[in-house]
Amino acid sequence: MSMFYVRAWFGVLVSVCCVSVVWASVPWYQVELYIITQNEGSMVEAEIWPDPSNLFLEIPQESVVVDLQSTVALDIAYQQLSSDKIKTRAMHEALKKSSRYRVLYAAAWRQPFYKKEGVLPIFIQGGRKYGDFYELEGVVKLHVARYLHIEAHLIMGVFDLIPAGQEGGYYTDAAAVIDPFASEQQGGQEQQYKGRSAQSRSAYIPIELYELKQSRRMRSGELHYLDHPRLAVLVQINRT
């Protein structure tokens, strides 16, 4: 039985420059999103998890990816904000120093908010990279009605080396870890590498998969938390 979950793509991912939508007539908000995992030694072992082969992650048509490669100070949708614009920077610094948690994804951007019918889903990839897969993958949807709303569907994989001589798995030169709030040199981001060197190709296979699928009603300016034994989502949204 395959340990890989099903990742279905419907349509294509689009960058900000490819999205031709009239944004002037809709409200804009600033989104600050963190996705973290508990380090080893937590109580995850006591949980009962679903069969990973039954997990299904749908990537909706025209999903957008937040641009973490550069920082901006202006109102450009779905691009990483410069550090002086981020309201939760102190919390992020505390998370990075914590011995209990590890940050898989951290981003702050501005975007127009639509009603649920017109929402543009955001495709999330974070944590270490193993071949064609990231440690964390998923989709986040943000929309507004009377309140703000978030819907999150995330899958986190725990990978291990395939024993020598055994075929299969995905290959990677290194496990890439991206911190968009690191030193703002070279376009606002440093790319760090942990694990084996680029000269050593290693095969990995997922041995555990964890799924977070939740929604939450929110108020502007408040920090909200989606709870899960292995994953956690912290999000704060402010009207611009």
pLDDT in tens, 60-99: 768 899 998 877 766 689 999 999 999 999 999 999 999 9
- Cα–Cα distances (Å) from 205 to 125, 159, 240, in that order, read 18, 5, 43
User: 130, 20 in Cβ contact below 8 A?
Assistant: no
| 40 within domain boundaries | yes
| 60 within domain boundaries | yes
The whole-number pLDDT of residue 5 equals 56
Reading the block at residue 169, the tokens are 């798995």
Q: pLDDT band for position 45 (50/70/90)?
A: low
153-171 exposure pattern, b = at least 16 Cβ within 10 A, e = fewer? bbbbbebeebeeeeeebbe
| 34 within domain boundaries | yes
| 206 within domain boundaries | yes
| 66 within domain boundaries | yes
Q: pLDDT band for position 199 (50/70/90)?
A: very low
| 1 within domain boundaries | no
Long-range contact list for 129-132, CB < 8 A, 24+ apart?
129/172, 129/175, 129/176, 130/157, 130/159, 130/170, 130/172, 130/175, 130/204, 130/206, 131/169, 131/170, 131/171, 131/172, 131/204, 132/170
Report the number of distinct structural domains present in the chain. Answer: 1
**Residue-averaged pLDDT of the chain:** 76
> If you average pLDDT over residues 173-182, what whole number do you get?
43
Q: Per mean pLDDT, which range of 23-32, 112-121, 135-144 is the poorest? A: 23-32
Give the residue numbers spanning the domain of 219: 6-17+25-239
| 167 within domain boundaries | yes
| 12 within domain boundaries | yes
pTM above 0.85, yes or no: no
**AA letter at 49:** W
